[in-house]
Structure 1
Amino acid sequence: MKVFQPLILTLVMSSFVYADSNSQTLIISLEKCGDYDAYENIFICASGVHEQGDKLLNKQYKSLLNYLEERNKIQYRDTLRKAQRLWIEFRDADCDFSAPKPKEPDDLYRSNRTFCIAKKTLIRLKELEDYNLRRGYDGFPW
């Protein structure tokens, strides 16, 4: 039964994620990952949420890039690209700080690190969703 536990957990988490794929739903799913009692299960759960969040983040990012390119807003497109590269560096560095790597990585480290990466990815996803919803409004020049 222990062999099937991660598989069952993965299937359950994918049903949460596919039910309504947006940042708010994924944030709720990630919070539920913390309810598991084994670090391995937290890792599996957070990994699934991160994978879905990363896909949605890339979709939102590309949508905003395309919007800026279509309107010949090259300066803003380039600024967005720079911001995204710097955000990835920040995310990784901040998670390195909050979940320092031990000499021998274990389940606790993997679950903490993955949870951190997933959480920061979902926060960034929400920001990009907001940018895409507000483009052309709220005084944004683009």
Structure 2
Amino acid sequence: MKSLLISILFFYSLNGVADEKSAEIKSRMSDCDEVTSYSDIEVCYLKLNTQTDKYLNSEYAELINYLDKLENKLHKQRLIEAQRAWIKFRDSDCLFYSDNQPVRMYQCLQSKTFQRLKELENMNTPFAMGCNGCGVLGS
């Protein structure tokens, strides 16, 4: 019973670690909302997008690395295809939304990239490692 409790606490602590990246970004997003000049808002979101994209790429690489170890490579290929499609959607949707206004573009990119970061973080938890329905490592 004691070992079960320790295992549960361990899994929950790992989930908290994964959310640290998005929690940091969420905190910095509110900083950008407090900036008042247009050029400062633009710079703030540009820097924030760079950091969010870095975290997103890190989460993605971790998932790809995990899925590459599975015997069935179909899950890895599906994630690659999904990520490519998501990038095209994000960019097209933000271009439509922003009407080529830089601050609106950066805000849109930030919002969508942050949302995707949260999705990938959730896939990187011990309970969903890699995807929904994937076989466990070695199966």
Using the size of structure 1 for normalisation, the TM-score is: 0.74
Partner of 1:110: 102
CA contact (8 A) 1:30 1:119 kept: no
The answer as to 2:128 corresponding to 1:135 is yes
Of the candidates 107, 113, 116, which is equivalent to residue 121 of structure 1? 113
Number of equivalenced pairs = 116
Aligned partner of 2:79: which letter?
A: L
C-alpha deviation, 1:28, in angstroms: 2.6
Partner Cα distance (1:25, 1:122) in 2? 11
Partner of 2:90: 91
Partner Cα distance (2:75, 2:97) in 1? 32
Gap runs ≥5 in structure 1 = 1-19, 102-108
C-alpha deviation, 1:58, in angstroms: 0.6
CA contact (8 A) 1:22 1:56 kept: yes
Partner of 1:40: 39
SS of residue matched to 1:141:
coil
Q: Which runs of 4+ in 1 moved over 6 A?
A: none
Partner Cα distance (2:92, 2:72) in 1? 30
The answer as to 2:44 corresponding to 1:50 is no
C-alpha deviation, 1:136, in angstroms: 4.5
Gap runs ≥5 in structure 2 = 1-18
Report Cα offsets for 1:58-84 as digits up to 9, x if no partner.
111011011011112310100000000
CA RMSD in angstroms, aligned pairs only: 2.1
Partner Cα distance (1:77, 1:100) in 2? 35
- Larger RCO: Structure 1 or Structure 2 (Cα < 8 Å, ≥ 6 residues apart)? 2
Aligned partner of 1:140: which letter?
A: G
C-alpha deviation, 1:35, in angstroms: 1.7
Identical columns (%): 33
Using the size of structure 2 for normalisation, the TM-score is: 0.75
SS of residue matched to 1:34:
helix
Partner of 1:67: 66
CA contact (8 A) 2:94 2:105 kept: yes
Aligned partner of 2:112: which letter?
A: K
